[in-house]
Amino acid sequence: MDSSIIVTTFDTATDSALGWISDHGGALFDLISAVLEGFYGALLWGLSQPPDYVLALLVALLGWRLIGVRFALLAAAALLFCAVMGLWPETMSTLALVISATILALLVALPTGVVAGYLPRLDAAIGPALDLVQTLPPYIYLLPAIALLGYGPATALAATVIVAMPPAIRLTALGIRMTPPEYIELGHACGITPLQMFFKVRLPFAVPSIMAGINQSLMMAFGMVVIAGIVGSGGLGATIYDSIRTLDIAKSIDAAIAIVVLTMVLDRLTQSASRARREDNP
């Protein structure tokens, strides 16, 4: 049939295009893959060094400082429960994936957001692109990534980085743009330089918004990392995927609980970090 010919032609064209890209850009993609995996590997190594109870204790301490005793105890207990379920290594590798993807995303998103905050035109131009990234179903990003980077954590990371960027870009730009005009005027009246204006006036006012962006990026990364279990990311996502395939429902629920624990702990911690900053800026 006509339509199947069209589809076949399209598929062949896509295949050969991707083949061409990975043939000619092979070295580049190998490099990207190596960087991503190296970064992830280093972080995972670091997180795997301390025994589970030490890490739980550290989280509890941080939670106690930032939020309160109740949260600290709950968080530590919940993390230790992950260890009891026998999912500690998977939990740590998911954590490493999320953190490394978020850091890489922020490395691009924060500077981009700052520039977009200064240039309304750029902001208007990248707005639709960010909308698109945020509306497409996240697993779409796994497809080109797996074609170019292959099966494994690098693919999961690449897709996660893309999904995690938009909120940080948006909220950073917003924060930089929203400096109250009277402070801009104050700066000029004092004879401020553009660089001082950024660091001494715009940035302090933008911190709460930027922190909210970081929090949202982190949460986006979480969602993606779990989905990326399907492309061999390892970690809890992979555990769920594998146990569903083998109909080991109990295990998949264990993994889901671990994911919930990790999400809640990270969310509360980063949220309260941004709120603590806000309380400094009443």
The per-residue b/e assignment along 185-202, b for 16 or more CB within 10 angstroms, e otherwise, is eebeeeeeeeeebbeebb
Residue 276 near another protein by CB under 8 A: no
- Write down the least CB distance from residue 273 to another protein, Å: 15
Residue with Cβ nearer another protein (3 or 281): 281
- Integer Cα distance of 169 and 61 in angstroms: 31
- Write down the least CB distance from residue 179 to another protein, Å: 11
Residue with Cβ nearer another protein (202 or 251): 202
Tokens 């911190």 correspond to 207
- Write down the least CB distance from residue 281 to another protein, Å: 4
- Write down the least CB distance from residue 207 to another protein, Å: 8
Residue 212 near another protein by CB under 8 A: no
Residue with Cβ nearer another protein (47 or 192): 192
Number of H helices, E strands in the chain: 13, 0
Size of the site for another protein (CB under 8 A): 19
- Integer Cα distance of 18 and 196 in angstroms: 47
Nearest to 96, CA basis, from 33, 36, 163: 36
- Write down the least CB distance from residue 193 to another protein, Å: 7
Residue 81 near another protein by CB under 8 A: no
The per-residue b/e assignment along 52-81, b for 16 or more CB within 10 angstroms, e otherwise, is beebbbebbebbbebbeeebbebbbebbbe
| Site map (CB under 8 A) of another protein, residues 175-194, x = contact | -----x-xx-xxxxxxxxx-
Residues that bind another protein (CB under 8 A): 180, 182-183, 185-193, 196, 200-201, 204, 280-282
